[in-house]
Amino acid sequence: MQFEEIEAKFLLADVSEGERVLRALAQFCRLVAADVEYVDDCYVDSAKRELLAAGLGCRIRQVEPSRGQRRWSLECKALAHGGESVKHRQETSQPLAGPVSLLELPSGPVRKVLDATLTTPPEVLLSLRNRRQHYHATIDESHEFDVCVDAVSVRDAADGELAAFHELEIEFLRGDPATLETLVRNLSTACSLTISRLGKLERGLWLTGARAALRVAWAPGQPAWPLLVEELAQDLRMIGMSRDVALEAMDPEGVHLLRTNVRRLRTALAIAEPWLVEEELQFTKAFRALAGALGELRDSEVFRGQTQELLQRLPAVKARVAEQVVGLLDAAHMAAGRQAQAVLAAPSTDILFRRFADFLERREDSRPELTVADLMRPQLLRRARAIRKFLRRRGRRLTDDDLHRLRILVKHLRYALEIFAPALEGRALRLAATLRRLQDRLGAHQDACVAVARTGQLAQQVPMGPHARELLVLLGRMQRQREIDARELRNTFLDRRGRKALNRPVRRLLRSL
Which domain does 253 fall in, by range? 218-367
> Tens of pLDDT along 174-215?
999 999 999 999 999 999 999 999 999 999 999 987 544 445
- Residue whose C-alpha is closest to residue 401's, from 357, 349, 463, 445: 445
Kindly state the average pLDDT of the residues 274-293.
89
Last residue of a domain, one of 318, 351, 367: 367
Contact 190, 5 (CB under 8 A): no
Residues shown for the chain: 513
- In the chain the first and final C-alpha atoms are separated, in Å, by 55
> Tens of pLDDT along 430-452?
788 888 888 888 888 888 888 88
Handedness of CA 336, 341, 343, 344 (dihedral sign): positive
* Entry pTM: 0.86
Identify the DSSP state of 235.
H
464 shares a domain with 340 = no
Identify the DSSP state of 105.
P
Specify the 3-state DSSP secondary structure of 129: strand
Per-residue pLDDT, 171: 95
Specify the 3-state DSSP secondary structure of 483: helix
> Tens of pLDDT along 8-38?
999 999 889 999 999 999 999 999 999 999 9
Angle at 230 between CA 227 and CA 233, to 5 degrees: 150
288 shares a domain with 193 = no
pLDDT band at residue 251, thresholds of 50, 70 and 90?
confident
413 shares a domain with 465 = yes
343 shares a domain with 254 = yes
Per-residue pLDDT, 249: 77
Contact 299, 332 (CB under 8 A): no
Distance CA 88, CA 275 (A): 39
For position 421, which CATH number holds? 1.40.20.10
Specify the 3-state DSSP secondary structure of 398: coil
246 shares a domain with 191 = no
Per-residue pLDDT, 213: 46
177 shares a domain with 222 = no
- Residue whose C-alpha is closest to residue 417's, from 367, 382, 441: 382
> Tens of pLDDT along 351-396?
999 999 999 989 999 999 999 999 998 999 999 899 888 888 877 7
- Total domains present in the chain: 3
CA Rg, the chain, in Å? 26
245 shares a domain with 126 = no
Question: Of all residues in the chain, what percent carry a pLDDT higher than 90?
Answer: 45
For position 207, which CATH number holds? 2.40.320.10
66 shares a domain with 29 = yes
Strands (E), 351-510: none
Last residue of a domain, one of 161, 191, 214: 214
482 shares a domain with 505 = yes
392 shares a domain with 306 = no
Last residue of a domain, one of 156, 190, 214: 214
270 shares a domain with 233 = yes
Distance CA 43, CA 78 (A): 13
496 shares a domain with 354 = no
Half-sphere exposure of 53 toward its Cβ, with a 13 Å CA cutoff? 22
